[in-house]
Amino acid sequence: DAGVTQSPTHLIKTRGQQVTLRCSPKSGHDTVSWYQQALGQGPQFIFQYYEEEERQRGNFPDRFSGHQFPNYSSELNVNALLLGDSALYLCASSTPRRGRDTQYFGPGTRLTVL
């Protein structure tokens, strides 16, 4: 049973560029959440996708956008990269039921912006 997968593992970009990160959820899961984790901090919620729509959004600018495909996989796009966007980007998958949403994380994508 495959867990959550993410690609690429590492990425180096320069300021102003755009980046796309990808995530495939755990088998049987239909919901994908994205988080940003800066060094030494807890993950910060970016947004959550369900049924190909953004269901919730955290306190991130519009430069951060996403998409969910019919097979439940998801992409995170970040435009006009800033140095402060350097972080570990985590994808978590789940199948929320009866008010419970237990999320399992993928290995993450380490983004470095120079």
Partner 1 sequence: QKEVEQNSGPLSVPEGAIASLNCTYSDRGSQSFFWYRQYSGKSPELIMFIYSNGDKEDGRFTAQLNKASQYVSLLIRDSQPSDSATYLCAVSPRTSYGKLTFGQGTILTVHP
A 10 A CB-CB count for 16 gives: 10
In this chain, which of 48, 68, 74, 93 binds partner 1, going by CB under 8 A? 48
Measure the CA–CA gap between 21 and 75, rounded to whole angstroms. Answer: 5
Task: Please identify, using beta-carbon distances, which residue of 15 and 55 lies nearer to partner 1.
Answer: 55
Total site size for partner 1, rule CB under 8 A:
29
In this chain, which of 5, 22, 75, 96 binds partner 1, going by CB under 8 A? 96
- Six token digits for residue 99: 């008010």
In this chain, which of 23, 25, 29, 31 binds partner 1, going by CB under 8 A? 31
In this chain, which of 18, 27, 41, 112 binds partner 1, going by CB under 8 A? 41
Residue 114 near residue 13 (C-beta atoms within 8 A): yes
